[in-house]
Amino acid sequence: MPHIALPEGLPGIRGAMAFRPETAKPLNELVEILLLGPSTLTPAERELIATYVSYLNDCHYCQSAHGAIAAAHLNGDEDLVKQVKADFHYAAISEKLKTLLVIAGKVQRGGKNVTAEDIADARSVGATDREIHDTVLIAAAFCMYNRYVDGLGTTQPQDEALYRERGKQVARDGYISVSKTYLPTEALAR
């Protein structure tokens, strides 16, 4: 049971967002820009970074939800998502994404863990400053979303089919659009 009286029937961050639509708005805008907005990193690559950080933070809801969105972007390749979580160095992803995942993993433990060498490694395989910036911010942002979801004791379903279905929906329509299905309409009008 959640720690506070969140609206019922809305799992994970959705219940928290429906409880406080004012903060839901910037939270949804930030995730939409970072994971689906214009970028030289694909949405799948960015969702894999979000999934990996959520896995390191042991947030069941976030790693399942974003893992499912990543898989939806990857034509249903759930095995790749699992490989990235288990050991991304052996996953079938680009060298550039591997160096960005190294940076993301360090940000998850604390921003000061990122070294000049980590940045040089990412640059040497083609990462741009903007890609490095967005990787740092995706990792930092998921240290927020994960703590928000777990800190309120939100409902976190175990049913993988549910995440798979929602993952397809978010990959197709985006975070802001899908949020209209669970945020109170009066909040959206503001």
Contact 16, 6 (CB under 8 A): yes
Q: Please count the other Cβ atoms lying within 10 Å of the Cβ belonging to residue 169.
A: 16
Looking only at residues 33 through 92 of this chain, which bind other proteins when binding is defined by CB under 8 A? 33-34, 37, 57-59
- With respect to other proteins, which residue has the nearer C-beta, 88 or 142? 142
Contact 40, 33 (CB under 8 A): no
| Shortest distance in whole angstroms from residue 91 CB to other proteins | 23
30 is a site residue for other proteins (CB under 8 A):
yes
Axis crossing angle, helix 129-151 with helix 95-109, rounded to the nearest 10: 50
10 is a site residue for other proteins (CB under 8 A):
no
190 is a site residue for other proteins (CB under 8 A):
no
* Identity at 143, one-letter amino acid code: C
Axis crossing angle, helix 129-151 with helix 116-124, rounded to the nearest 10: 120
Within 13 A of 13's CA, how many CA atoms are on the CB side?
Answer: 25
| Shortest distance in whole angstroms from residue 146 CB to other proteins | 7
Q: How far apart are the C-alpha atoms of 146 and 56, rounded to whole Å?
A: 10
- With respect to other proteins, which residue has the nearer C-beta, 72 or 135? 135
Q: Tell me how many residues contact other proteins (CB under 8 A).
A: 50
| Shortest distance in whole angstroms from residue 166 CB to other proteins | 21
Residues within the interface to other proteins (CB under 8 A) = 3-5, 16, 19-20, 22-23, 25-27, 29-30, 33-34, 37, 57-59, 103, 106-108, 110-112, 114, 116, 119, 129-130, 132-134, 136-137, 139-141, 143-153
